[in-house]
């Protein structure tokens, strides 16, 4: 069975032809990436992709969407597109479709990929638990969160959440200063304002202000680049601070979801900073949960290394919905 698998975030929409084989395995062809800002709607992006593929596409589609997926109108969290599920077949010319939250799709991928597609980050260096609950999260344009429950019979259940929008909890004076900066623009500061790709700008500016340094306004990509290549010690400190905040958030989600079977970090940003994550304060912040420190230290934390977990997971979600 072939279908179009789509992973739509705030900045990019990724498309691939997925094949679900008779044994249930899933393969993807070479993905195509389209910038969301280059298209007025998902339909025009779909038409662009169809043209790139020679004018014809499979009659099935599975979409992983960054935002809540219920209701008559689906609105993206960090993207002006909207999708009306009732019109999907008509507008796209498909016979069937599946729509899931983007991190719901990632959790499907976590459930399906092999153990060799996980990189160990912290905690005991053991595989993710074969049964019980796992927490899945990842920073990108926003912060996605989901959880996965593995049944003893090998089946699993996935639940999407909007956990990235819970309140940010500062833990030290630098966090306090970052919160104060963000409060000037946002009455309520969510974790996503601190743990996402664009957040590095506010972290960097906060550290500069604490040191009394005047720094120019620039985009997040420039700061991430200098923070990773060693050319700017202040940017490197901002990256380390980001890793600490990601560790705090990951630990909070594990506690609140009961993700004691393991925590998985996903997304391209997490993969790009994987070496920094291991050396940073991520692990200490993850387990710094007071009376539960011993419990937190027993949780394996992994990074999924599959190159396209959103696309793979969207295809897996379709296969479960349309066996």
Confirm or deny that 8 is annotated as ligand binding. Answer: yes
DSSP letter (8 states) at residue 167: B
DSSP secondary structure letters along 16-35: EEEEE-TTS-EEE---EEEE
Strand partners, 65: 8, 101
Distance between CA 182 and CA 114 in Å, rounded? 40
Confirm or deny that 83 is annotated as ligand binding. Answer: no
Confirm or deny that 6 is annotated as ligand binding. Answer: yes
Residues 6+ apart with CB under 8 A from 220: 197, 198, 199, 200, 201
Residues 6+ apart with CB under 8 A from 177: 206, 209, 210
Output the CA torsion 124→128→132→135 (10° steps): 90
Asked whether the beta carbons of 315 and 18 are under 8 A apart, the reply is yes
Distance between CA 110 and CA 305 in Å, rounded? 10
Confirm or deny that 202 is annotated as ligand binding. Answer: no
DSSP letter (8 states) at residue 214: -
Q: Residues marked as binding?
A: 6-11
| Binding-site residue ranges for ATP | 6-11
């Amino acid at each position: 069975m072939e279908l179009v698998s789509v992973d739509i975030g705030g900045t990019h929409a990724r498309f691939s032809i997925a094949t679900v084989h008779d044994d249930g395995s899933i393969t993807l062809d070479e993905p195509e990436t389209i910038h969301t800002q280059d298209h007025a709607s998902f339909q025009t992006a779909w038409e662009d992709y169809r043209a790139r593929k020679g004018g014809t596409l499979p009659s099935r589609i599975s979409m992983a969407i960054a935002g809540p997926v219920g209701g008559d109108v689906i609105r993206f969290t960090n993207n002006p597109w909207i999708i009306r599920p009732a019109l999907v077949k008509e507008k796209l010319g498909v016979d069937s479709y599946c729509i899931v939250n983007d991190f719901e799709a990632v959790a499907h991928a976590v459930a399906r990929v092999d153990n060799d597609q996980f990189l160990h980050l912290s905690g005991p260096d053991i595989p993710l638990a074969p049964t019980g609950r796992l927490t899945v999260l990842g920073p990108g344009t926003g912060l996605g969160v989901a959880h996965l429950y593995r049944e003893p019979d090998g089946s699993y259940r996935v639940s999407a959440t909007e956990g990235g929008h819970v309140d940010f909890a500062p833990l030290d004076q630098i966090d306090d200063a970052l919160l104060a900066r963000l409060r000037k623009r946002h009455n309520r500061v969510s974790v996503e304002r601190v743990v996402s790709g664009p957040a590095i700008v506010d972290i960097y500016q906060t550290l500069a202000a604490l040191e009394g340094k005047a720094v120019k306004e620039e985009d997040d990509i420039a700061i991430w680049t200098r923070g990773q290549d060693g050319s700017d010690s202040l940017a490197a400190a901002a990256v380390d601070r980001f890793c600490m905040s990601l560790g705090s958030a990951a630990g909070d989600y594990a506690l609140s979801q009961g993700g004691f079977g393991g925590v998985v970090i996903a997304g391209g940003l997490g993969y790009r900073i994987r070496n920094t994550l291991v050396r940073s304060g991520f692990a200490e912040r993850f387990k710094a949960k007071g009376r539960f420190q011993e419990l937190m230290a027993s949780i394996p934390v992994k990074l999924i290394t599959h190159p396209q977990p959103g696309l793979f997971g969207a295809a897996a979600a379709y296969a479960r919905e349309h066996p």
